[in-house]
Amino acid sequence: MERQELLELAALYALNTLDELKQSWVDDHLVDLPELDTELAAFQSTVAAIFYSVPVVSMSVDLKDRLFQRISTESTSSSPDIAERLVSDLLIQSEQVVWKSYPLAPGVKFGRLYVDPETREVHYFVQAIGAAKFPIHRHVTGEEIVVLDGDLVLDGQVYRRGDRIVSNADTVHQPETQGGCILFLRTSLDDEILVN
């Protein structure tokens, strides 16, 4: 190995910026290469002195306020990005389920993603190609819906892509879609379909 390469490795080793493989190589060759050991000691001494040679800089009086303002701004502006990533991830998962026709609503299909027989919780996707009315049903434990595409009308409120709807236990409703939709649902296997 060339002297220049050894010097560079020794400097990076002293700064603790080498990857594990190169750091291990230096450790293994310190005994065989006394010049590397000497250079490394000099670099480590220099690195240790850097901390004490940097002038003290006082912090701005309003630094804390500016930091919290920035955090507040970033967290609210990144929320839509997080929601969009969630929707995109769920849409990808919806492509991997086995879709079946839903006999109680023409033009509607569903695909199960996850079932927990112990808690009786089920996660699944619902897809309506066009306008459709879903059956009136009662929730035993509650329901969570995320609209992945299209629209969902529930109790007169129109929900669109990225919207999340949470219904409590014993809620009775009949959702519908005006133009079609893809939904993610988390609910109970024990939900009750009511007669229209």
Domains belonging to the chain, first-starting first, are 3-53 (no CATH), 100-193 (2.60.120.10)
* pLDDT for the residue numbered 28: 80
Judge residue 138's burial from the number of C-beta atoms within 10 Å of its C-beta, 0-12 exposed, 13-18 middle, 19 or more buried.
middle
- Give 40's contacts (C-beta < 8 A, 6+ positions apart): 10, 13, 14, 26, 30
Whether 192 and 162 have beta carbons less than 8 Å apart is answered as: no
Question: What are the per-10-residue average pLDDT scores of the chain (196 residues)?
Answer: 75 83 81 77 79 68 78 60 87 93 90 92 94 93 95 95 93 95 95 81
Give the per-residue pLDDT at 170.
93
Extract the tokens encoding 130: 């066009």
Task: Read off the pTM.
Answer: 0.59
Q: What is the predicted pLDDT for the residue at 94?
A: 94
Q: What is the pLDDT of residue 175?
A: 96
pLDDT of residue 120: 92
Using CA atoms, how far apart are residues 28 and 150, in angstroms rounded to an integer?
62
What does the angle CA 97 – CA 101 – CA 107 come to, to the nearest 5 degrees?
115
Cβ proximity of 178 and 133 under 8 Å: no
